[in-house]
Amino acid sequence: MNTINIYTDGSALKNPNGPGGWAAIICFTDGRQLRLSGAEPDTTNNRMEMTAALRGLEAVRPIANATSAKVVLHTDSQYVQLGMSQWVRGWLASGWVTSTGKEVSNIDLWQRLVAAASGMKVEWKWVRGHVGHRENEVADQMAGMAARSKQGQVISLSAEEVASGQFDATTPTGRARATVIEVDTTSSDSEIAALIREHLGAAGGKSVRFRERMG
């Protein structure tokens, strides 16, 4: 059976209610890759993780249905993985109400995920983030860049281009982009240090510029 692997990640610069980004890397059996990303101005980490999974499933649904391919969706969000592999069955039975009688959080995206996965053979696989897994790291970089730039990308790579490893993780041209960090000078030293560490990781070893933001 053919298997299509999807690697997803989501990021919110301020959680909750801050700008966010999502990314999905779709790996086909012939070695091709499709890389998708997008942004939202006011969101949460969980919603971006869910959106990444949703967009990935929607992109492969026509192919998976036509070829009866199995889809393995890799996510570093246990919220997404457990939600779709375990919790959703109870929510469907209860009419999307929790054990406390409240409506399930993010019900709109859960329902869209259920619809997108319907009829496909989907395995929901959790992967630990930030441990050097290439596709997970690329998805993380793309989601972070989408959140910061407030725009997404669609990158289609041939099997030869994927194998060469010459394409930059976040740009279709292969050129590295500098990450700009705005530092609020009224923040504490520890807050500034945490911000720098976060964005250095997201930069993936590329250049980083600092921009001062006054008061």
d(CA 170, CA 153): 9
Please tell me the distance from the alpha carbon of residue 213 to that of residue 215, in angstroms, as a whole number: 7
Place of tokens 């009866």: 68
Annotated catalytic residue 49: yes
H or E stretch including 168?
none
Catalytic position from the list 49, 135, 144, 199: 49
Q: Is 160 a catalytic residue?
A: no
The contacts of residue 40 (CB under 8 Å, 6+ apart) are: 19, 20, 21, 47, 48, 51
Choice among 9, 40, 135, 137 that is catalytic: 9
**Does residue 42 have an active-site annotation?**
no
Going 14 to 136 to 164 to 198, the CA torsion angle's sign is positive
Residue 199 is a catalytic residue: no
21, 56, 140, 144: the catalytic one is: 140
Catalytic residue among 40, 76, 135, 137: 76
Q: Do 49 and 80 touch, CB atoms closer than 8 A?
A: yes
Contact 31, 152 (CB under 8 A): no
**Amino acid of residue 166:** Q
Number of H-type helices and E-type strands within the chain: 7, 8
Q: Is 9 a catalytic residue?
A: yes
d(CA 77, CA 44): 13
For this structure, is 168 an active site residue?
no
Active site residues: 9-10, 49, 76, 130, 140
